[in-house]
Amino acid sequence: MVKPPLELKPNIDESTIEQANVVEPDVEQPNVVEPDVKQPNVVVNTANFFFQCEKYNVRDEMIEWCRKEATKAGFTIVIGKSDNGGNRRKPYFLLSCSRGDVYKEKKRILKKQDTTTKKFMCPFRLRGYFLASQEWKLSVVCGEHNHEMEKTLEGHTLAGSLKPEEKECVQELTKNLVPPKNILTTLRGRNPESKTNMKQVYNARERTVGQSKTIQDFFWAHQESVKLFNTFPTVLMMDSTYKTNKYKMPLFEIVGVTSTEDSFDVDFAFIANEKEDNFIWALETCKSLLKSKDTFPKVIVIDMDKSLMNAIWISQKMYELSSRPFAGQKNKTWTSY
């Protein structure tokens, strides 16, 4: 009797095989994009703050009046466009809300920062135009905002920024070791409408004092230039170029003149700021190159730089100053000496 063949059974269940043979299609993950958080539809009309604007003879006075009115309303304004006229164009300017326009990304970003923009395409616009009567008149192009007004502008980037005279006050008080709290009290005493806060005072003090241990000012002179300077110390020409070098620092240059009307470089100095203290340091260092204490320059030619002029006057021994336009005339011959 022949036995039937053994039926081979797999160790895996058929249901398992069916599941294994099923090829699931590739599931594409959707691009998850966070929805833009849109501000609610807000319309705030501030046109009534600017309807009572009078005519002004000076443009800056009208702009300053508009800024004060905007501060009362709870926002800040910036100059969007301006034109001084020419080629049959009439002078005008456009003022817009500081939250107008859109943010423009920088092409070169050195460090990624987790920040947001304040720009919100606010449509607010004011227009000032120059009349034939030689006066400025203001008109409201659009007085509406698409955002809420600020409850307080204290410490605002624009409203709380220090004016030039206030910066000088902070610098002087800082040099006299006045505490920041007293500096802020002094600023508010001089201007009760000031929106400056303590942080902005500290920032101004930091720019004045600084905690960096790097070199701020650098002076150098060639030994041959020093010899020429001691031989021909009568006439000096001084000029401070703008921050066009790779160090982004002002370059202070002093040039001497020989008896044959040839010029030579006396010295150079990189200075941190074009202020009196920096110029005084450079001038005193330059004077130290002279071997004879009785020999001093008699004529100094500079451009109309007030800080440099004051620094020379403070350097009491340089007693004769001739202030003449210098920029752009280096290639001319100084025949008057």
- pLDDT for the residue 32: 42
3-state helix, strand, coil in the chain (%, to 5): 25, 20, 55
CB atoms within 10 A of CB 141: 13
- pLDDT for the residue 37: 44
What pTM value is reported for the model?
A: 0.45
- pLDDT for the residue 332: 43
* Residue pLDDT, tens place only, 26-74: 544 444 444 444 555 778 888 888 988 889 999 989 998 998 888 888 8
User: What gap in Å lies between CA 184 and CA 191, rounded to an integer?
Assistant: 10
* Residue pLDDT, tens place only, 239-280: 888 767 777 788 999 999 999 989 999 999 998 888 887 888
Contacts of 250 (CB under 8 A, 6+ apart): 240, 241, 242, 243, 270, 271, 273, 274
Catalogue the long-range contacts made by 202-211 (C-beta closer than 8 Å, 24 or more residues apart): 204/162, 204/167, 204/170, 204/171, 205/170, 205/174, 205/180, 208/170, 208/171, 208/174, 208/175, 209/174
- pLDDT for the residue 331: 43
Average pLDDT, the chain: 76
The helix/strand/coil state of 204 is helix
- pLDDT for the residue 33: 40
Q: Residues of the chain whose pLDDT is less than 50?
A: 16-17, 20, 22-23, 27-37, 317-337
- pLDDT for the residue 335: 41
Helix extents (H) in the chain: 14-21, 59-73, 164-175, 180-190, 198-208, 223-231, 276-287, 306-314
The helix/strand/coil state of 139 is strand
